[in-house]
Structure 1
Amino acid sequence: MAGKIPQSFIDDLLNRTDIVELIDSRVHLKKAGKNYQACCPFHNEKSPSFSVSPEKQFYHCFGCGAHGNAIGFMMEYDGLNFPDAVGELANLHGLTVPNDQPFHSQGPAPSADHYQLMEWATRYFQNQLKTAPQAIDYLKGRGLTGEIVKQFAIGYAPGGWDGLRQTLVRSAATEAQLIELGMLIGRDGGGSYDRFRDRIMFPIRDRRGRVIGFGGRVLGDGTPKYLNSPETPIFHKGKELFGLYQVKERHRTPARILIVEGYMDVVALAQFGVDYAVASLGTSTTADHMHLLFRTTSEVVCCYDGDNAGREAAWRALENALPGLQDGKDLRFVFLPQEHDPDSFIREYGRGAFEQKLDDAQSYADFLFERLTRDLNLSGEAGQNELANKAIALIRRVPEGFNRESLLTKLSVQLRWGENEKRLREIFHRQEQEAQQTATTHKNSGKIKLTLIRRAIALIVQHPQQAALLPSLPDVLKSLKEPGIEVLLSLLTQLHNNPMSTGQLLEHWRDTREGRALAQLAMLDEVAVGDNIQQELEDVCDRLLDLYLQQRLDSLLQKNQMSLEEKQELQFLLTEYKRSTK
């Protein structure tokens, strides 16, 4: 089983999914022999090293090592956890994910689902807001209407220590779940208490609309001003954005998404009609955030304070966004006056003035060179070379295409090297070659030495449908003294009369030490020496039996005394060994 989802359902889901079709819907693939290829979506590269095998239902990047089946691709490309990736694939096929341990809908119970508990917590906070005049006055003072409060399911956590605990905890198992979800904090001596107290509560939803965490804003002058849910099994703040679910509810394909710094900014902007804003969750804007946003829209605008902290946050966002700046994708920056945040600016000047600032936002290229040329003396060769090297190191992270060429042209203008652009290209290619040499060295250092067992496992993993036709191997092979024999026999048992693809087979070994090794073997080239895979599999099985015969013979011959049964066995083995070596 993979969590609570039946393995049989996962097998069927992978069987229904064409990995080429799935990946091609996100990354344009080109036919290359019997496989398909593209530039890898997980790292920046000049020539395609990302390969997708329709036969294996498996993808692999020969550059960065990324690999997996359809579920693995959804997890890595869409930034989903395992259950969500299965859920997304199931939705594509119109299927409902079954659950071996369904939760009760009438109230908390030991089997209650994480997401259901978070939904109950949301309702609890909403109900508490209705009877908390100080919280209502605070929200009204911030200019929020009842409609926008309801739209974002904003609530209130009362000031006591166990309001949520008393309401939701009905068993030790539920209490443990709420601690795991970061809603309660466990006491050293046992028991627990509420994490969020006397705070305005903002539910954080994932892309499917499920509550996965909370942001709590203190009412008074207490600290911290904002308290976020900790990392939990369902909440990873570096991968989630507050308000993205609401943006996608209102705009099927948003033309622009605005990144701001706070929950209240998102809510206030939405109230004024700027309903395409999101906020990071107490972290810098990460590479995962940028990857997610560029999958959703073609233009991302980052709105920060104009002080040093705001500009540093903008620079980190730019660095993380560079690999996603494919042609047709744009990134821009707005820096507000230091006395304003988006909430206060739009209230003072209105939606029109705010959106005009967005329209006039600084391009990522201008911001990049403004930052790089700061403190550099470009009148001298030393400063020019420093700018060239620093800029090219960043430009190389941008995918090959118009955006990259535009940056190189702009760099040439900055350096006044217009008539000597060849010099710029030489620096670019030198850095490229150095990076490729480093990658090649790293790849060669991790090369797998193919033993007989590893070659056998590689053949089985790469050609599981042919391996399923092999006859059952003798039980004596279990005693073969070779590393990996248990895995090999387990694979053959799995496949016996149950043919499946490489992607399906490896799914059974997900999150295991053996699974990672199997994935490496699935990617090896030149394992088979001919076209007759069935014959090669049979030959390798025969060699394993020969190896067992040799080991058993050696073991018996080393004995000083043998029983009658052992002598008979020795005679039999000698006969078999002579026959096998003819």
Structure 2
Amino acid sequence: MAFISDEQISQIRQTANLVDLVSETVQLKKNGRNFMGLCPFHSEKSPSFSVSSEKQLYYCFGCGEGGDAFKYLMKRDGLSFPEAVRQLAKRCGIAIDEAKLPPEARARIRQREGLFRANQLAISFFKAQLEKAPHVSDYLEHRHLTAETLDAFEIGYAPDGWDHLSRFLYENRVPKALAVQSGLLMENDRGGIYDRFRNRVIFPIRDSSSQVAGFGGRVLDDSRPKYLNSPETLVYHKSRILYALPLARPQIRQTACVHVVEGYVDAIALYQAGVRNVVATLGTALTEDHVRLMKGYAKEAVLVFDSDSAGINAAERSIPVFEKQKMDVRILVLPEGQDPDAFVSANGGAAFLKLAERGKPVIHFLSDISIRRHGLSVEGRLHVLDDLKGPVQAIDDGLKRSLYIRDLAERLEVDESAIRSRYEVVRPEIKKSRGETGHDPLPVDWQRKDRMEKRILSMLVQFPDIHPEMRKRETLSLFQDPEMRQLGEAILSGLEAGGKTLVDVVSQHLDPASASAVASLALSEDEWVYDGCVKLLDQFSFMRGRRRRVTGSGHRV
């Protein structure tokens, strides 16, 4: 990498803690020498994502993704390599000379950091304006928000007027174009700029890394729109951000459950009432990225709605999303006419949690609604079966689908086989991931490789000090598989080129596919010592030499 030395890249990599980095979005548990969790890059029910604190490498035994901290950040956040290096360096407090960056990388990094800086400046502005607006403080107090809550959520106020924030950003040397790109300012047809948020209570929106990505604003009166969010930007993607997640994360991990509400006011009210494992969507339906984020910390989600109609629509949309991510979900509809804010104000957080415990699985919720609507006459039961057909068919898990059909048959007093026939759907055969089947954890291309050759490479990546002995013995010349020999040569060359650690070799000398293969070998639980390595090399040389003699002479030895 031309713009930064290998030594500095190695310094950043060794300073960064991969376990801490991954733990921001994945719940990891110690498993032997490594940590295991659900893979953030594919859907799975059982943990197959392994992270080594010792080797600073990760590997998913399910989908084959593997590498170091830089690759993880690139994959998770959609960053280029220079951006990942810059971001990790910043986290580690290591200075990088940006003048050496390629122009396009420098421009993108500066834009991202400029947007985050503008947003952080805007927080300070909005909070300061709240202190100068007693009528807004009175409004928030009337909504029973405490000073501690206002501080925790960094709530502020955008004053009425067209240029209060724009002047503040100008005074703090935020370029006009960047301020418009951030969504804080808007541009009219004549090129003039004005504040997007005016006379609104402001709710900063932090991403999963706790950086301020955008803002939400709520009016103080009956103006429309009632809520206004930042537009999509380089750093704000509402389909990938859950409001209050950084604050809720500890309690979500502790309870393995997350409550999902529809707006930030509801999330704040529940949080203040003691229900701290709560997040909110940002004016959009739940997406796979949302569920993937939640799945990193929780086993179950409870979707909270204030009416049956809203619950029905959201429940039906949620089934394929949660099914694909293999996460359990229940539906909670609050008593008629009450949203989460009103409910906890009247009844408290403990009452909410008690009610949430009675939340229903999606199919049960939909069947209850349908039965109430159509009744249990012959015609009513047929309508119920029609209502439930799509939701039941959306369930990928065959056993789960079968159990719901049996339950539905008992409730409707209809023959189970008749419902199965009515709901029959042809599904394409989907090959299970290796992490779920327990097969060899190597990538697909390496599944049928020679067991002894894989053992030798596994030894090499876990005990790199053996590499001079392997070179002296010309061990790789005995490999029969050219791909395995090529990978071994790449590892040896990387070590001989000055790679101080295995992770240096993986990052600097291997292509992505080879890096994933090496990561999988490195994360096994084998313990190696020098004498054991030499013994394995002796055994391998004897076996291969014997095979060559047999092949060459045509006689058994």
Q: TM-score range by the shorter chain?
A: 0.5 to 0.7
- Residue of structure 1 equivalent to 2:395: 395
**Are the counterparts in 2 of residues 79 and 239 from structure 1 also a CA contact under 8 Å?**
no
- Distance change (3 Å), C-alpha of 1:205 and 1:388: closer
* Aligned-partner SS, 1:232: coil
Instruction: Name 2:427's counterpart in structure 1.
Output: 431
Q: Tell me the residue number matched to 2:525.
A: none
* 1:499 positional shift: 5.1
Deviation at 1:251, TM superposition (A): 6.9
Question: 1:513-524 residue pairs with structure 2 within 5 A?
Answer: 519=512
Q: Is the 8 A contact 2:256 2:299 kept in 1?
A: yes
Quote the Cα distance in structure 2 between the aligned partners of 1:422 and 1:50.
41
Q: CA–CA distance in 2 between the matches of 1:372 and 1:79?
A: 41
Return the alpha-carbon distance in structure 2 between the equivalents of residues 457 and 186 of structure 1: 57
Amino acid at match of 1:147: E
Instruction: Select between 188-197 and 161-170 the one with higher mean Cα deviation.
Output: 188-197
Against the structure 1 CA distance between its residues 249 and 160, is the aligned structure 2 distance closer, same or farther, given a 3 Å change threshold?
farther
Q: TM-score when scaled to structure 1?
A: 0.60
Matched residue type, 1:139: L
Counterpart amino acid of residue 271 in structure 2: A
Alignment counterpart, residue 96 of structure 1, candidates 93, 117, 123: 93
1:71 Cα offset (Å): 3.8
Letter aligned with residue 410 of structure 1: Y
1:383-532 alignment runs, 5 A limit: 390=390, 393-396=393-396, 405-415=399-409, 431-433=427-429, 435=430, 464-466=490-492, 497=497, 519=512
Matches within 5 A, 1:265-276: 265-276=266-277
Please, which runs of 5 or more residues in structure 2 have no aligned partner? 100-109, 433-444, 446-481, 518-536, 538-557
Q: SS of the counterpart of 2:254?
A: coil
| 1:480-533 alpha-carbon deviations (Å, 9 max, x no partner) | xxxxxxxxxxxxxxxx94659998689689xxxxx9xx6478789xxxxxx9xx
Q: CA contact under 8 A between 1:261 and 1:280: conserved in structure 2?
A: yes
Percent identity of equivalent pairs: 31
1:243-275 deviation per Cα after TM superposition (whole angstroms, max 9, x unaligned) = 122223667624432111111112222333323
Counterpart of 1:358, as a letter, is: A
Partner secondary structure for residue 427 of structure 2:
helix
3-state SS of the aligned residue for 1:238?
helix
Q: Distance in 1 between matches of 2:47 and 2:246?
A: 33
Q: Which residue of 2 aligns with 1:136?
A: 137
3-state SS of 1:139 partner: helix
SS in 2 for 1:215: strand
Secondary structure of the 1:223 match is: coil
Whether the 8 Å contact between 2:331 and 2:361 is mirrored in structure 1 is yes
Q: Which residue of 2 aligns with 1:527?
A: none
Asked if structure 1 preserves the Cα contact closer than 8 Å seen for 2:59 and 2:66, the reply is yes
Code of the residue aligned with 1:155 in structure 2: it is G
Q: CA 1:56–1:125 in structure 2 vs 1: closer, same or farther (change >3 Å)?
A: closer
SS at match of 2:232: coil
Q: 2:476 maps to which residue?
A: none
1:78-117 correspondence to structure 2 within 5 Å: 95-100=92-97, 113-117=114-118
* Cα distance change, pair 166–88 in 1 and its aligned pair in 2 (3 A): closer
CA distance in 1, matches of 2:269, 2:45: 43
The equivalences for 1:566-581 within 5 A come to: none
Distance 1:200 1:280 in 2: 18
The number of residues matched between the two structures is 451
Gap change, CA 1:215 and 1:364, over 3 Å in 2: same
- SS of the equivalent of 2:354 reads helix
Matches within 5 A, 1:162-561: 162-170=163-171, 174-248=175-249, 253-325=254-326, 330-367=328-365, 390=390, 393-396=393-396, 405-415=399-409, 431-433=427-429, 435=430, 464-466=490-492, 497=497, 519=512
Shift of 1:333: 1.3
Tell me, what secondary structure is at the counterpart of 2:214?
strand
Consecutive unaligned residues in structure 1, runs of 5 or more: 103-108, 399-403, 438-446, 448-455, 470-495, 510-514, 525-530, 532-582
SS in 2 for 1:214: strand
Structure number with greater Rg is 1
Which AA in structure 2 matches 1:96?
G
- SS of aligned partner of 1:169: helix
- In 2, distance between residues paired with 1:241 and 1:46? 22
Counterpart-to-counterpart distance in 2, 1:192 and 1:176: 10
> For residue 541 of structure 1, what is the aligned residue in structure 2?
none
**How far apart are the structure 2 equivalents of 1:421 and 1:10?**
62
CA deviation string 1:432-457 (max 9, x = no partner) = 52x459xxxxxxxxx9xxxxxxxx99
SS at 2:240's partner residue?
coil
Report deviation, 1:389. 7.6
Q: Distance in 2 between matches of 1:88 and 1:254?
A: 31
Alignment partners' CA distance in 1, 2:209 and 2:252: 15
| Preserved contact between residue 165 and residue 193 of structure 1 (Cα < 8 Å) | yes
Of structures 1 and 2, the one with the larger relative CO (CA 8 A, separation 6+) is: 2
Cα distance in 1 for partners of 2:151, 2:115 equals 23
> How far did 1:465 drift?
3.3
SS at match of 2:337: coil
Query: The residue matched to 1:288 in structure 2 has which SS?
Result: helix
1:279–1:348 CA distance, 2 compared to 1 (3 A): same
1:19–1:418: structure 2 CA closer, same or farther, 3 Å change rule? Answer: farther
- Is the contact between residue 461 and residue 502 of structure 1 (CA under 8 Å) also seen in structure 2? no
SS at match of 1:220: coil
Kept in 2: contact 1:27–1:41 (CA 8 A): no
User: What is the aligned partner in structure 1 of residue 457 from structure 2?
Assistant: none
Q: What's the CA shift for 1:141? A: 2.7
SS of aligned partner of 2:238: coil
Q: 1:279 to 1:21 in 2, by over 3 A?
A: closer
Which residue identity does 2:427 align to in structure 1? Q
Residue 320 of structure 2 contacts residue 395 of structure 2 at CA under 8 Å; is this kept in 1? no
Asked if 2 retains the 8 angstrom alpha-carbon contact of 1:243 and 1:277, the reply is yes
CA-CA distance at 1:418 after TM superposition: 11
CA spacing shift, 1:159–1:457, aligned 2, 3 Å: farther
Q: 1:391/1:56 Cα in 2 relative to 1: closer, same or farther (>3 Å)?
A: same
Measured in 1, the distance between the counterparts of 2:272 and 2:224 equals: 27
Distance in 2, matches of 1:325 and 1:366, equals: 18
